[in-house]
Structure 1
Amino acid sequence: MKKNLLIILMTLFSSAIWAQNLTVTGKVTSQDYEMGIPGVSIVVKGTTTGTTTDIDGNYTISVAPNANLIFSFVGMLSKEVAVNNQTKLNVILEASATGLEEVMVVGYGVQTKKDITGSIVGVKGDELKNVSSLSPMQSIQGKLAGVQIVNSSAPGSAPMVRIRGIGSMKAGVDPLYVVDGIVTGDVRNINQEDIVSVDILKDASSAAIYGVRAANGVILITTKSGSKGKMEVNFSSKVGVHKIINEVEMADSKLFAEYSNEAAAYDNQEAPYDLSKIKYNTNWLDAITREAFTQEHNLSVNGGGEKNTYFFSLGYMEDQGILKTNDYSRLSMRLNNTYQLTDKIKLGNNLSISRYKSNNAPFGTFTDAYRQSPTVPVKDENGDFGYTIKNNVANPAATLHYNNSRNWGTRIQGSLFAELELMKNLSFKSTFSVDASYSKDRSYTPKYEVSPNQKSEHSSLSTGRGEYSTWIWDNILTYQFKLGDKHDFKLMAGTTAEKTETSWLGGSRQGIPEQSQYWYLDAGDVTSATNGNGGDKYTRNSYIGRFNYAYDNKYLLTATMRRDGSSKISKTQRWGNSPSVGLGWRISEENFMQDINWLDNLKLRASWGKLGNDNIGSNAFLYTMATKQYVFGETQTVVNGTTIEGIKDLGLKWEVTTEYDLGLEFSFFNKITGELDYYNKLTSDALIDAPLDQIFGANSYLTNMADIRNEGFELSVNWREKVNEDLTFTFGVNLTHNKNTIENVASGLPIVAGGLGNGQVTTRTEEGEEIGSFWVYQTDGIFLSQSDVDSYVNKDGGKIQPDAKPGDFRYKDTNNDGVLNDDDRVYMGSYQPKLYYGFNAGINYKNFDFQIDFYGNSGNKVYNGKKAQRWGNENIEASLADRWTVDNPSNTTPRASNGVPIASSYYVESGSYFKINNITLGYTLPKSWVNSVGIKNVRCYMSATNPVIWQKYSGYTPELPGGALDAGIELNAYPTAATYLFGINVTF
């Protein structure tokens, strides 16, 4: 009886205790990545009671109101949280230094870092937020090995991004961008504050899942999503200024006039300047530039309930250029939602809308400011713009004054998706995405006259409208399962289809009134009307599959296959395969390594894959017709007819890139992590403009005739040290070496490019050299006297440079045939660096944080095109004060001359530089201060971007974006600007 009574009492007591328990729910996410973490262990402290998070990181547990929960996960720092009568606990776990469980986005899915067999690198959104930039790629410069980024300070510009070198000459060299699964080619519409992560697929094994467009690498951008729980509001604001950091010292009026008079004397002409009558000494760069204002403001709201989550953001940025009248502004909005309809059905959307406006200014005004005479005033005493008839250079200030050029655009980018759990471990996801944009431009020029060489005899208006739209439909099946304790499998298969259409329509008329309300074509002279239109349409269809296998968490296999069909390619070559395989061996998990306590991870990986590049016009293999007029018979009657336009390769096919990669990943002491990679990438069937005989009516035709190889090494090392609760510091370094070579050109002549507009060309691309190599005459000192000129003869005694004068460059007759011509030109390197690198260091002390980033490259060349583009009586650099004269027989700086400079090694300079990319100092207000007024967190900071650059180049900037064949030429370049910001981030 007593025994039964005791049981009853214990049962009642237990029930009373149970009745007091709380049901606690929440979501566990990573500090660096806002997706939920599946499989997190949650244990009630002091007991064995617990649970784990589901695939989305959500959990439910019943505990006492005063219990403490311990959250733990491999690769993350464990965290203890007190319940304190709360029913909703969202927990953020901090990754350990090894980063093994860091979640990275791969094509059509995610993987943890430890399971990846390809070369994938990335940065988190928090690393980008201290910089104000239009494109997130501008903020990544110097942070990742194998990713070269060349920035421009021009508002609205996109950076030049090259992943593991240049692999094409004619089919485009830009990477593929994928934003929340939406394939695109431009990410300037993305608000940087909305970004969770940027992951870059560098090798063929990881990028092959994107097939025909992945040859130049793939950049995956993931934006923020909502999380279950109480609504959270974030506001950020930053304001600052841009300032030019490098100016080229130009001659003052006295030096310029002396130089011009000397040059005229050599040509037996009258001196153009009387030094005693010069009234002006204009600094033209100061006249057209300014300290420019920049601002960016963002507001976001996120939260959710048991069945849905939401993330909404609104952002505005305004960026003035250092060039007067040049600015860019963007308004953006994002809405990301998920809806859990049932336990097995989930719907969602990712939607962004952006609107931009750009006030354009011709960058050629920088060149005009460089070349215009300092003796000319911006405006004279009468208030009229100054000019001179002694040269053909425009007054750059007048150019800006009369320029009225604007662009507007709206872009909608979004996706709808449905996820279905068909059975245990088998899921299906269907995503339909759209990327559409509408743009218009307007350029008005009034009737004006500054000088006989700078005038507009009629007012004119040009306007145009463009439309772009693409849709993509992805259907993906994913199945993952485990056999026993050691065999892990994951299979993915699916299809993707897409269609893209573009159109453009434009026109112009003269005689438009000056009042802006009349700036429409129908207000002009109909007889002066011109118009044009264009467009394109193409489709792709693809089948994709991926197989992942892991044995005992040691041996890893990833195999991928994608089959693409592209309407851009001829029917006989339309379909192609992109296979790849990656292997990984986690050496640190072997039994013989278990006694090495300081080693956290050691993984060897190797991969191989094939990729494609179909980035050409969709009519590149089709004959098109052009209208012609023909004259027939004795009466010479004019008859309209048509003719085939150009010569086409009917069997045109896409370029194929095959790549091998060998990598070693390591981490030790739970502090230091790193990767070392070797890659060898060959692009075969590369497109070139092959030469044709004139009898065919065309100079060249597009065809597959070359191979391009990129081979290199990459190293990255990061060290994170937590000294104590108050002090943490980090240090990182990454290095990349790449060698680019053109191989096996089949009957194709060299491609000449890099024109300066004065009859001179500067680059040539041919077998055995780098793409876009500088190809110039080699200088060999200066003729110090007439006897030097007379003694420079060929074997027959003829002068090699018969028109030369003392003080002119001597050019090498490199082939010793006694004649100077193109056969004597030599290759002087290219804009592609042999080595580029980045360093970063940071320290957190209590509420203060400090970060500094460096970036540099070496081994590349740039061409000082503005210095080499003279016709006569243009300004000169101050360094020419040390030019050759009879009294100063310099052997390095030539005499005064008004002749057109020959493309020579004198203008090829080192493109090596090293700069401070960004410095940021921040302070987070104590929570005890802000929590009392209902604010969760407040951080203020100051940052400087590009504050200092050390460069060997004598021009404005060694960062000179351009095409594959002509990058690295400073002509109409935008000088580098430093940006100084003050910002604040507030969380409610």
Structure 2
Amino acid sequence: MNEKTKLKLLNRIKKLKYLLFFITLFYSLKISSQELNQLKVTGKILDEFNTPLPGASIVEENTSNGVISDFDGNFEITVRSVNANLVISYIGYKTQILNTSKNPISIKLVPDVSSLDEVVIIGYGESKQRDLTGSLSAIEMADVQKQPASNIGDAIQGRAAGVTITTSGQPGNNPTFRIRGTGTIGNNDPLIVVDGMPLNGGLNQVNMKDVESLQVLKDASATSIYGARGSNGVIIISTKRGKKGQGQLSIDTFTGFQQATNTIDVLNARQFALLSNEMLVNGNLLPNPEFTNPSSLGSGTDWLDAFFTTGRQSNITLSYSQGSDKSNLYTSINIFDQDGIIINSGYTRYIMQFNSDTQINDNLKFGNSLKLNYDIKKNGDNSIQNTILSLPTQPIFRENGNYSGPIGQPIYSGDLDNPIGKSNIVENTTKGYNLQGNIYGELGFLKNFKFKSILGVEANFWDTRTWAPSYSWDSKVSPNAFLAEGSNKSLTLLWDNTLTFNKEFEDGSSITGVLGTSAQENQFKYISGSVQGFTSENAQTINNGLLQPTINGSGSEWSIFSYFARGQFDYKNKYYLTATVRRDGSSRFGEGNKYGTFPSASVAWRVTEEGFFEDSKSINDLKLRIGYGITGNQNIGNYSFASSYNTNLYNFNNTFVTAAVPTVLPNSNVKWESQKQFNIGLDASLFDNIVDLTIDGYIKNTEDMLVPQTVPVTSGYSDVFVPFINAGKIRNQGIEVVLTTNNIRKDKFKWSTDFVFAYNKNEVLSINSDTPLTTGGIGLNYTLARIQPNYPINVFYGFVQDGIFQTQEEVNNAALQTPGINSFTSTAPGDIRFKDLNSDGVINDDDRTFIGNPNPDFTYSFNNTFKIGNFDLSVFFQGVYGNDIFNANRLYTENMSVTTNQSTAVLDRWQGAGSSNTMPRAIFGDPNNNNRQSTRYIEDGSYLRLKNVNLSYTIPVDNFKKSFFNNATLYISAQNLFTITNYSGFDPEIGPNGIDNNIYPITRTFTLGATVGF
């Protein structure tokens, strides 16, 4: 570069420096001018009762500059102009615009009923709540999300009338739902729809903190829009979307610990030795020579104390939300980790959520919902029963550090594996990889029309693994390690299209119509293998096994295509009509039966809009509803209409031959199960809106119920899968009540109460034949329940205990208790006397009868919420009444006929005339069969539980003025604090079938948490 060129470059740099100086000066003056024009505005937001409104939105008009009112309704915002407008809004209240010329600002917001109504989500659309004609329960997620629950089901338990939810203490288990009773003998699970996509994987895939709204559709007029999948009710979940305003970063976290709500008291070593010797002597056997001095044995081993542990859990959700006039987004990451209350059990879950919406122009909009989930569920060989039965005279470890096993003759030492050892060395692991998402496009045209198309996908992949190493624990030896692995793949595709018409008239009337199609397809594949014996147990792979290799696999497909339509008419906010029809075609049915049509209609009358109804402070709003509809059920498996075969190897004269063997007896005539439901209800607001009341009554009849066909042995198909036929009927009828009262509404003190009540009566009207269906199998050829006309579903069936024989004379004068056996040697004083119901002098199967009903008479809950200054306190009770439980654990823990430990209930056993009339004698072998299924094991399952107590403190916003925090709430919570019940087992919450058999117990949980916004 020459000197002339250098001079030119230097001159240009000098000019550029001057230019940059003037540009900087210009913007500095402009910014200074803007700062001079800025104004700090303060104010207070009140509701119609002059009570502060926390969480109200205050946004400078036509900008993204906004703040939220604090717990006392106060706010402070810096606006860009001394003459700016503020847009003030709050859910359920009319939006108001105020000029900042008046500062400070105090404003009272006015309730906007129509705004409240817009938050209700129904199938394939939205509806104003005041316009609903069907039965729907909308869960207040703002209250529910204050609970540190591991899944949504646990958090909403007892909060929706007619919805029975059973949870489990086992980490990673999904809750069980029953909506308005058990409506079929098959799958009773409701349809769960998340962001428009039916969910296959279970609610554990949804992070509760991501949920914006949750509605439960209960009657047919509400669920028939889902046709063949709506018969068990529908749960609709919408996740959060970004909101207009500046970006909001939030962290919600909690940590805590869990314990069993109750344990079973078992015999100590001294008590067990006394029982063992007594049992053996009564059975004409020699007592255990090791137990000559039971008192010297002391307490012995506490197996349950070693088996149960304190489970730790932690949860953190990091979320970000922002929005503008044209677009919004919401994203979150959740990590949940839980150790079980049983050793070597736990659950870890990772969830990522991403939702966005983009308004291209006034008519065109696109968006998406995406959820990614990865979870790990692990368990050892966790047998609660075997832990209870393990002998207190046996240590957990031998002196050499090995796990112990029984030593000596089995009649003395028992024959159980060491439950602590099995729990620690056995690995049962399930890993799940799940994706659920959709994209949508929405086009508005001709002012009143809107077309929306959704493409959705759900991919579920889960791998299972069981590893059991070899071991040698005294007499219990497993010489070969065992490995089993399985891989499952499920892919579901969805394409929904809807055309919506909405027209509002000047007189307040409106009409809404929806036409749509839905196509869904699922493909499932499964492969598994197992092997035993490994040269080195450090190489835990299938190909390294040496013995008994097996391999299995299967695959299936199903699809459903549907047309649907719904029309809603509102005449002057007074008369309402909703009509729905859906036609489904399913691949699960044969030719001529693939399609089913499911219509419904409902009407409502808002009485308080009539001219003859004068304004009244006692009745502010009154609406009557009535509806009828038909829904369906297609849950019968994929190929019931067709024959299927498997190939197997058969040995003929030492020659293996491959043969095709039928596995399914087909029924080409099988068709839809249908459910016809009638609903009547009322909604009322009373006493200046202090009391809200909803009452529903319903009759739900399931017809053409899908039941297994009775196949005679001579058909040759008795040992294969029998087909379903349409031959059963079940009826559920009941009443639901939801009552909310705002007891006190003061500035510094609020108190409200929610009461939920549901009564349901279940009855089987008919089944496929005169032969009842047996259910409730628990192994050892025990079937504890049956399905029979004129009784509730799954009632317990067995013998009736009629006290204890106290003398030999009573034995001689009673019916023969064990036919085919000499009653003088099989039955003796101290044995149970069973009722001879048919008076034929013999106790046999003809003397069995219905001995219990697992279906509750009613469920109920009541929640009290208090707001005292910056403190919030909620106390939630939940209960069940009138159901029976078959405590199958007692078949083992009170049998007193084999050498296993027993519960302390046997301390009250019969040991002589007059000593007991309920607990029989101890005798080896149980010759009288005292342990047969009978009323002895039926218990009242009613309970009242303090389900949740939550105390939170919201830190005043004033404390954050000089920090980057916007809000913060600290809370402590306790779940399942105590339960009032007469049930003797671990916990009375054991599932819809009412059989308590080795069930992982409910946990008591204590947590500490915080929610912080930035």
Same fold (TM over 0.5): yes
TM-score normalised according to structure 1 size: 0.89
Whichever residue aligns with residue 184 of structure 1, its letter is L
Aligned to 2:806: 784
SS at match of 2:285: coil
Q: Residues 370-398 of structure 1, C-alpha deviation per residue, up to 9 Å, x if partnerless?
A: 11121111113332222323322222101
Q: Does 1:355 align with 2:378?
A: no
Aligned to 1:873: 899
Note the C-alpha offset of 1:721. 4.2
Q: Residues 12-43 of structure 1, C-alpha deviation per residue, up to 9 Å, x if partnerless?
A: xxxxxxxx999x9xxx9x99xxxxxxxx9999
Q: Distance in 1 between matches of 2:956 and 2:603?
A: 48
Q: Residues 138-192 of structure 1, C-alpha deviation per residue, up to 9 Å, x if partnerless?
A: 111111110001111110001111000001112x000000001011132211111
SS at match of 2:130: helix
Aligned to 2:709: 690
1:352 to 1:626, Cα distance in 2 relative to 1, 3 A: closer
Aligned to 1:418: 441
Whichever residue aligns with residue 133 of structure 1, its letter is A
Aligned to 1:106: 122
Aligned to 1:54: none
Aligned to 1:543: 563
1:529 to 1:43, Cα distance in 2 relative to 1, 3 A: closer
Q: Say whether the 8 Å CA contact 1:380–1:386 is kept in structure 2.
A: yes
Aligned to 1:663: 681
Q: Distance in 1 between matches of 2:739 and 2:575?
A: 24
Q: Distance in 2 between matches of 1:651 and 1:486?
A: 50
Note the C-alpha offset of 1:281. 1.2
Q: Say whether the 8 Å CA contact 1:288–1:324 is kept in structure 2.
A: yes
Aligned to 1:5: none
Q: Say whether the 8 Å CA contact 2:885–2:941 is kept in structure 1.
A: yes
Q: For 1:635-674, what aligned pairs fall within 5 Å after superposition?
A: 640-668=658-686, 669-674=688-693
Q: Distance in 1 between matches of 2:523 and 2:234?
A: 22
Note the C-alpha offset of 1:861. 0.7
Q: Paired residue for 1:231, among 247, 258, 278?
A: 247
Whichever residue aligns with residue 937 of structure 1, its letter is N
Note the C-alpha offset of 1:801. 5.7
Whichever residue aligns with residue 969 of structure 1, its letter is I
Whichever residue aligns with residue 580 of structure 1, its letter is S
Q: Say whether the 8 Å CA contact 2:448–2:502 is kept in structure 1.
A: yes
Q: Does 1:187 align with 2:203?
A: yes
Q: Does 1:848 align with 2:867?
A: no
SS at match of 1:400: helix
Aligned to 1:342: 361
Whichever residue aligns with residue 195 of structure 2, its letter is D
Q: For 1:733-772, what aligned pairs fall within 5 Å after superposition?
A: 733-772=755-794
Whichever residue aligns with residue 328 of structure 1, its letter is Y
SS at match of 2:996: coil
Aligned to 2:620: 600
Q: Say whether the 8 Å CA contact 2:640–2:664 is kept in structure 1.
A: no
Q: Distance in 1 between matches of 2:650 and 2:258?
A: 58
Q: For 1:207-286, what aligned pairs fall within 5 Å after superposition?
A: 207-272=223-288, 273-276=291-294, 278=297, 281-286=300-305
Note the C-alpha offset of 1:438. 1.2
Aligned to 1:309: 328
Aligned to 1:16: none
Q: Say whether the 8 Å CA contact 2:381–2:428 is kept in structure 1.
A: no
SS at match of 2:782: coil
Q: Distance in 2 between matches of 1:768 and 1:451?
A: 54
Q: Does 1:520 align with 2:546?
A: no
1:767 to 1:887, Cα distance in 2 relative to 1, 3 A: closer
Aligned to 1:488: 510
Q: Does 1:392 align with 2:406?
A: no
Q: Residues 909-931 of structure 1, C-alpha deviation per residue, up to 9 Å, x if partnerless?
A: 01101101100000011111123
Q: Paired residue for 2:385, among 367, 370, 387?
A: 367
Note the C-alpha offset of 1:422. 1.7
Note the C-alpha offset of 1:209. 0.4
Whichever residue aligns with residue 460 of structure 2, its letter is S
Note the C-alpha offset of 1:93. 7.8
Consecutive unaligned residues in structure 2, runs of 5 or more:
1-36, 49-56, 62-78
SS at match of 2:228: helix
Q: Say whether the 8 Å CA contact 1:43–1:70 is kept in structure 2.
A: yes
Q: Does 1:912 align with 2:930?
A: no
SS at match of 1:947: coil
Q: Does 1:297 align with 2:316?
A: yes
Whichever residue aligns with residue 297 of structure 1, its letter is I
SS at match of 2:910: coil
Q: Residues 68-121 of structure 1, C-alpha deviation per residue, up to 9 Å, x if partnerless?
A: 768689x934576655499xx9x9989689996362110011111100000000
Q: Does 1:177 align with 2:192?
A: yes
Aligned to 1:116: 132
Note the C-alpha offset of 1:799. 10
RMSD: 3.0
Note the C-alpha offset of 1:875. 1.3
Q: Distance in 1 between matches of 2:982 and 2:706?
A: 35
Whichever residue aligns with residue 981 of structure 2, its letter is Q
Consecutive unaligned residues in structure 1, runs of 5 or more:
1-19, 32-39, 45-61
SS at match of 2:623: strand
Q: Say whether the 8 Å CA contact 1:379–1:386 is kept in structure 2.
A: yes
SS at match of 2:693: strand
SS at match of 2:990: coil
Q: Residues 546-595 of structure 1, C-alpha deviation per residue, up to 9 Å, x if partnerless?
A: 00001111100000000000001122211001100011001111112233
1:630 to 1:724, Cα distance in 2 relative to 1, 3 A: closer
Q: Say whether the 8 Å CA contact 1:371–1:876 is kept in structure 2.
A: yes
Q: Residues 767-825 of structure 1, C-alpha deviation per residue, up to 9 Å, x if partnerless?
A: 11111111010000110011110110479x99996521111110011122222222211
SS at match of 2:534: coil
TM-score normalised according to structure 2 size: 0.87
Aligned to 2:596: 576
Aligned to 1:139: 155
Aligned to 1:9: none
Q: Distance in 2 between matches of 1:106 and 1:302?
A: 25
Q: Residues 721-770 of structure 1, C-alpha deviation per residue, up to 9 Å, x if partnerless?
A: 45222221110111111111101224252111223323332111111111
Q: For 1:425-440, what aligned pairs fall within 5 Å after superposition?
A: 425-440=448-463
Moved more, 728-737 or 507-516: 507-516
Q: Distance in 1 between matches of 2:828 and 2:902?
A: 20
Note the C-alpha offset of 1:335. 0.4
Aligned to 1:37: none
Note the C-alpha offset of 1:511. 2.7
Q: For 1:815-826, what aligned pairs fall within 5 Å after superposition?
A: 815-826=838-849
Q: Distance in 2 between matches of 1:763 and 1:327?
A: 32
Q: Distance in 2 between matches of 1:93 and 1:460?
A: 69
Q: Paired residue for 1:382, among 397, 400, 420?
A: 400
SS at match of 1:617: coil
Aligned to 1:442: 465
1:198 to 1:886, Cα distance in 2 relative to 1, 3 A: same
Aligned to 2:68: none
Aligned to 2:72: none
Aligned to 1:728: 750
Q: Say whether the 8 Å CA contact 2:798–2:848 is kept in structure 1.
A: yes
Whichever residue aligns with residue 911 of structure 1, its letter is G
Q: Residues 396-441 of structure 1, C-alpha deviation per residue, up to 9 Å, x if partnerless?
A: 1011122122111111100100010022010000001111111112
Q: Say whether the 8 Å CA contact 1:459–1:513 is kept in structure 2.
A: no
Aligned to 2:1011: 985
Q: Distance in 1 between matches of 2:898 and 2:114?
A: 62
Q: Distance in 1 between matches of 2:852 and 2:214?
A: 32
Q: Residues 642-679 of structure 1, C-alpha deviation per residue, up to 9 Å, x if partnerless?
A: 34334222211121000000001111121110111110
Q: Does 1:938 align with 2:968?
A: yes
Moved more, 289-298 or 899-908: 899-908
Whichever residue aligns with residue 524 of structure 1, its letter is G
Q: Paired residue for 1:862, among 873, 882, 885?
A: 885
Aligned to 1:7: none
Q: Distance in 2 between matches of 1:353 and 1:798?
A: 63
Aligned residues: 923
Whichever residue aligns with residue 342 of structure 1, its letter is N
Q: Paired residue for 2:982, among 952, 960, 978?
A: 952
